Structure 1
Amino acid sequence: MNHIHYYVGSCFFTSEENGSAVSMEEPIPVNKIVNPRRSISRSPTHGIKISLDNRERSSSRRVTEKDIKQAIIFSACLNKLTLSQDEATEYTHLILEELQIGQGLVKTNSSLQLSGITKGQLKDLQPTCWPAPMPTKNIQCLMLAAIVFFHAHWRRIWVVVLWLAACAALFTWKFMQYRQWLAFEVMGYCLSTAKGATETLKLNMAIVLLPICRNIITWLRRSRIINYFVPFNDTINFHKLVAAGIVIGIILHGGIHLSCDFPRIAMADKIIFGRTIANDFGNHQPSYLEIVASTEGTTGIAMVVLMLIAFLLASRPSRRNPGSLPPLVRRFAGFNAFWYSHHVFIAVYVLLIVHSMFLFLAKDVTEKTTWMYVAIPVLVYLGERMFRIIRSMVYDGKILDATTYPGKIHALKMTKPTGFQYQSGMYVFVQCSQVSKFEWHPFSLTSSPGDDHLSIHLRSLGDWSDHVYDVFHEALLSSSSNLPKISIDGPYCAASQDHSKYENILLIGLGIRATPFISVLKDIANDLHKGNNSNRANGLRKAYFYWVTREQGPFEWFRDKMKEVSALDSRQGVIEMYNYLTSVYQEGDKRSMLIGAVQALHFARHGNDIISKTLVLTQFSRPNWPRVFHGLARKHVGERIGQIIWEDSWKGSVIK
């Protein structure tokens, strides 16, 4: 029995002459390949070829079924695709049938190549695109860029400008006010600058709580007027911006006090000290250490330390990628550390009130205004948290079904609590008491409002989700009917809800972040099937969904839902879905030409994509976004297109 070895890139296969089994082995050096006379080589210029042994087959010049099957398997491996033996056999027979009728694939010498018909079919299946019109002058480019930028970000601009103006006004007011105080003779502009920064700190410590009051934001978002002017999609970004303002205020206020104000008080001339601020210190000129050790000094330092811990653990490397940190720091990082450390702000606000009540230079209660700034926001936030706790006790989700998918994904189907009303694109917070009684994590709903159940897809991306995956995986393996208990809190608004504002929408999802759009597409398809499209704000004309993923496995996550959407929209044709797989070499590359030909032949004959196993044809490599955008603009002249992108954070914009 002879063995034939094939080596393509990082994939090495061994096949037997008298069998069809193909197995993967470790790569070996080329000079050790047994019988290299028949091999499949990968070359950017020559593509994938089946090179035949001229001495053995010079008379026949025929490509065997086995050679075609091996080429298909190698092409799939080269493009990181999963292909079973049965599928490889099916696609081989498909090619042989096309060879017999003289279409699709032709045999030239010893190479397997695409014919013009098949390549034309592939091009016809690509989205229609037009080249982007570009201005001819630099001034026109700048003006166009400025107009587009303002049109896309004017909501963010006016909010940030208003916030900066408020901070600047408060700083200037206090700065000018303290120039008139007697203490200015001792501390000078250090005092004015520190007190100006104090006033901005009061404002920022008050408004930093408002962007995370999610129930209030969800309620306000129902108003079309408020929703039009306020960028609710950027609440977390605004929360981070205000936090950055707090950091700047702390540096100015605390740094100037420690480096300038306190030394000047301790070393001031006794005559000037007695004439100006002696009464504020009980007619005793304190030393530097006495000032630092006072109630005002210790509470201020304690607040700085606690906020420093919270800020560091909330940074992106610590929260999202703790593995990149040094080993000593890594054990204290992660989402859990971020979540728990953020709750030290309860102590920070208590210390802030105490700190404000023991000011050296302010003896009158009316001058101690910190509580006036933070009282209402703190009460609103406490009410928000109490409401969430009570509601989560009522909304217990009973698991109806749990399914495991590739990529450590669990799809959970739950009962829909009584009175639970939501819109497509919303998300909920999920708690698994078996893992943690305190942690709540957000997940987009993948079910539509018309369904009688709720569904979410959980991907293992961190310590908490890893534990949840393990708990459900063990329960499923043991065939236990008692699945872990899940509590939900919500629903909460998200940017994907904005799809109802536009007559044309462009939805772009990257990997698992396509989850909210599955709910949106299902909702649109249900409305179209029932004839309720007129109930939408403007009446939907067209919905485009682009799903870009790096691996083939994610297509299995929403396969059933995408098939259902395609079936419901089969008559209207309102929804267009495009799948993109970036692990496959782009169209026209020799390394993906064979798998592309098989895909086109199978889709033309059966109407089913061999990669996603759905009715949506998978495109190769990344989308050409400039062409996609300008193509849509040319196709919908004078119409509004709402573009919603889901990646690391919500982004929404409008294209006209």
Structure 2
Amino acid sequence: MGNFAANQWFSAVVLIAWLGMNIFLFTYYFLIYENGRSYSYTRFILGSALAWARGSAACLNFNCLLILLPVCRNLLSFLRGTCSCCQRSMRKQLDNNLAFHKLVGYTIALMTAVHTIAHLFNIERFYNAAQSKNTTLEGMLSSIGNKHGDWVNPIRSQNENPPYVCFTTIAGITGVLITLALILMITSSTEFIRRCCFEVFWYTHHLFIIFFAGLLIHGLGRIVRSQTLDSMEHNNYESCHDTFLNWQQDDGHSDIECIMPSFQGNEPMTWKWILAPMIIYIIERLLRFYRSRQTVVIVKTVGHPSKVLEIQMKMYGFKMEVGQYIFINCPLLSMLEWHPFTLTSAPEEDFFSVHVRSAGDWTEKLLQVFQEQADNPPSLEVDGPFGTASEEVFKYEVSMLVGAGIGITPFASILKSIWYKFQHEDDRLKTKKIYLYWICRETGAFAWFADLLRSLEQEMACSGKDGFLNYQLFLTNWDSSITGQAAINFDVTIDAVTGLRQKTRYGRPVWENEFSKVADAHPRSTVGVFLCGPRALGKSLNQCCHHYSSLDPRKVQFYFNKENF
């Protein structure tokens, strides 16, 4: 529980502040439109649906202010650097950017549903009021003003119906476009579609341009109206609404008891909320566009087993840290698609590299193009690098690195950097012990990473630091021939599958045992747990971090970090 509080207290503060702001805004504006005197006549026509529409609109404005900021990757990388002196629990919140982005997105969807349903009721009430005769208050209010004047009911004749209002007014047309764009973005961002048809998610998510353009002009129609202050001085709802048949036009005489009320539209407010984050996002995109225009030189390509392609590149001004990632675009395949890849090179190397695994249509085509054009590889565009949780690895005394399949890539960068630090006898390395766990389905997938581990083994042996790296490889999919070969070579010092000193294990790790061993071996250390892998595995590791951390903050503490991009 003590570790949970140390890890999550700032997350809890952020969520409580965000939730509290939503509740405050909804309640504040709901009460204004439910009880405000200037909306008495409008409320007489519409009822409580007016307050529901405006309360949800306030929450929409607030969340639309936030939705773009978690995906401004350059901003997050900048904050990650400036927050290096802050507490670990505060820096960790930058790793929750996508989770917060999704939370805000779902909240926008919910508030949009409330706002839309409330306004559908409002339009129906406006229509019914327009059909009423002038002998009723609804009919009298509907006849006030003209199409360009001080009206309170936007439906100006009995020939106008609700569909007409929805598809001919600024608020109606933009509302339909905003809702359709949001539905497509939300449905295409489900995990199933992102995994199976990433291109569908990528393209439909760019409908956010239509969404925000619609938001900017949605309020220009000023359909929601309040009574003007001058009018309220001579027509108070409490004393005049019962005498509406005797209302008179204002002729300048102050002795008139109740004059005909006049109304005005509310000033559009949404642009004030979203203008600043839109400017930040535009600057972000311009910076990324400029950086992506830099020439990328492909130094070398290496094909590895299990359809893994290593691409080594150079680009002017490129500087990286361990565990960071980049976006890659191949104009030959698509001018618009950018896909994220973790850097597998070390900062000490004079090039940067990625390992691309065939995991979808785009990566399959990329590997095919590089194979067909081996002598003249296609040009690539690179955007990045961007920071991740793995940058924190050298800030812990002990680190547990957990990679599933191709998820080992960020840790390749870390291990290479360690190898260079050992070669140059860098004494500034705070980390004293690293535990590496790699969970993989195929034996061939170990091949490209085995060379790095073998070099690191030799370097540690020469440096007298054999105990620095403890790595364990877990094979989850095997057949009888593999197990038979492993049994035959049981007494051999070199593993039959990988050629490494550390023997490959079959099955999945029992995390309770692993955490217990680390806790016993480092009773007074701060342990960073880093994962690049599936969500289910992350949940198990996070639970173990909480369970095996000591209640005494001076003893062993586990801090969970997960790659998100």
Common fold by TM > 0.5: yes
1:345 aligns with 2:345: no
Does the 8 Å CA contact 1:220/1:227 hold for their aligned counterparts? no
Q: Would the aligned equivalents of 2:60 and 2:112 in 1 still touch at CA under 8 Å?
A: yes
In the alignment, the residues of structure 1 paired with residue 419 and residue 531 of structure 2 have an alpha-carbon distance, to the nearest angstrom, of: 20
Identify if the C-alpha distance between structure 1 residues 449 and 633 changes in structure 2 by more than 3 Å, giving closer, same or farther.
same
Separation in 2 of the partners of 1:593 and 1:435? 42
Q: Is 1:243 aligned with 2:136? A: no
The structural deviation recorded for 1:166 is: 1.2
Of 281, 294, 298, the residue aligned with 1:399 is: 298
2:170 counterpart residue number: 295
Shift of 1:583: 2.0
Please tell me whether residue 195 in structure 1 is matched to residue 54 in structure 2: yes
Rounded to whole Å, the distance in 1 between the matches of 2:449 and 2:481 is 28
CA distance in 2 between counterparts of 1:168 and 1:399 reads 53
1:139 equivalent in structure 2: none
Paired position in structure 2 for 1:308: 183
Deviation at 1:225, TM superposition (A): 4.3
Distance (whole Å) between structure 2 residues aligned to residue 163 and residue 224 of structure 1: 24
Distance 2:362 2:456 in 1: 32
Secondary structure of the residue that 1:517 maps to in structure 2? Answer: helix
The alpha-carbon deviation at position 419 of structure 1 amounts to 2.3
Moved more, 512-521 or 551-560: 551-560
The structure 2 residue matched to 1:433, chosen from 319, 331, 354, is 331
Mapped to 2, the partners of 1:438 and 1:282 lie a distance apart of: 42
Residue 555 (structure 1) aligned with residue 446 (structure 2): yes
Alignment partners' CA distance in 2, 1:227 and 1:337: 39
TM-score, normalised via structure 1 length: 0.70
Equivalence for 1:408: 307
> What corresponds to 1:267 in structure 2?
128
* Aligned partner (choices 439, 442, 457) of residue 566 of structure 1: 457
Shift of 1:158: 2.1
3-state DSSP of counterpart to 1:398: strand
Of stretches 456-465 and 400-409 in structure 1, the one that deviates more from structure 2 is 400-409
Deviations 1:76-132 (A, max 9, x none): xxxxxxxxxxxxxxxxxxxxxxxxxxxxxxxxxxxxxxxxxxxxxxxxxxxxxxxxx
- State the shift of 1:547 in Å: 0.5
1:602 aligns with 2:492: yes
Q: Is 277-286 or 618-627 further displaced after alignment?
A: 277-286
| Corresponding residue for residue 377 of structure 2 | 483
Secondary structure, counterpart of 1:558 in structure 2:
helix
TM (norm. structure 2) is 0.80
Secondary structure of the residue aligned to 1:215 is: helix
Deviation at 1:379, TM superposition (A): 0.6
Measure the CA separation in 2 of the matches of 1:439 and 1:560.
32
The answer to whether the 8 A contact 1:529-1:569 is kept is: no
**1:58-457 correspondence runs (5 A):** 144=1, 147-179=2-34, 180=36, 181-182=39-40, 183-222=42-81, 223-226=83-86, 228=88, 229-230=90-91, 231-258=93-120, 260-268=121-129, 271-273=136-138, 278=144, 279-281=151-153, 284=156, 287-293=161-167, 294-321=169-196, 334-362=197-225, 367-394=267-294, 396-415=295-314, 417-457=315-355
The 8 Å contact of residues 526 and 568 in structure 1, kept in 2 or not, is answered as no
Alignment-derived partner of residue 260 in structure 2: none
Compute the displacement of 1:195 (Å): 0.9
Partners of 1:507 and 1:546 within 8 A in 2 = yes
**Partner Cα distance (1:283, 1:529) in 2:** 79
Sort the Cα spacing of 1:489 and 1:592 in 2 relative to 1 into closer, same or farther, 3 A.
closer
Measure how far apart 1:313 and its partner are. 1.7
Which residue is equivalent to 2:243?
Answer: none
User: Deviation of residue 209 (structure 1)?
Assistant: 0.4
Q: 1:151 offset after TM fit, Å? A: 3.9
Matched, 1:518 2:412: yes
Q: Mind listing any 5+ residue stretches in structure 1 that lack a counterpart? A: 1-143, 322-333
Q: Which moved more, 1:542-551 or 1:292-301?
A: 292-301
SS at match of 1:458: strand
**Aligned-pair distance for 1:584?**
4.1
Q: Residue 312 of structure 2 contacts residue 351 of structure 2 at CA under 8 Å; is this kept in 1?
A: yes
Name the SS of the counterpart of 1:164 in structure 2.
Answer: helix
Whether the 8 Å CA contact 2:393–2:528 is kept in 1: the answer is yes
8 Å contact from structure 2 (residues 395, 431) kept in 1: no
Counterpart of 1:76 in structure 2 is: none
Counterpart of 1:66? none
CA distance in 2, matches of 1:567, 1:492: 32
Inter-CA distance 169–225: structure 2 relative to 1 (3 Å threshold): farther
**Is the deviation greater in 219-228 or in 267-276?**
267-276
| Structure 1 residue 594: Cα displacement | 4.5
User: SS where residue 352 of structure 2 aligns?
Assistant: strand
Q: Which moved more, 1:493-502 or 1:646-655?
A: 646-655
Identity of aligned residues (%): 28
Write the distance in 2 (CA, Å) between the matches of 1:403 and 1:525.
21
In structure 2, C-alpha distance between the alignment counterparts of 1:170 and 1:287, rounded to whole Å: 32
The 3 A distance-change label for structure 1 pair 391 and 283 is closer
Quick one: distance in 2 between partners of 1:581 and 1:287?
Answer: 66
- The alignment's C-alpha RMSD in Å is 2.3
Distance in 1, matches of 2:444 and 2:123, equals: 63
The amino acid that maps onto 1:645 is L
Whole-angstrom distance in 2 between the partners of 1:255 and 1:156: 32
**Distance in 2 between residues matched to 1:191 and 1:599, nearest whole Å:** 77
How many residue pairs match? The answer is 481
- The AA in structure 1 aligned to 2:28 is W
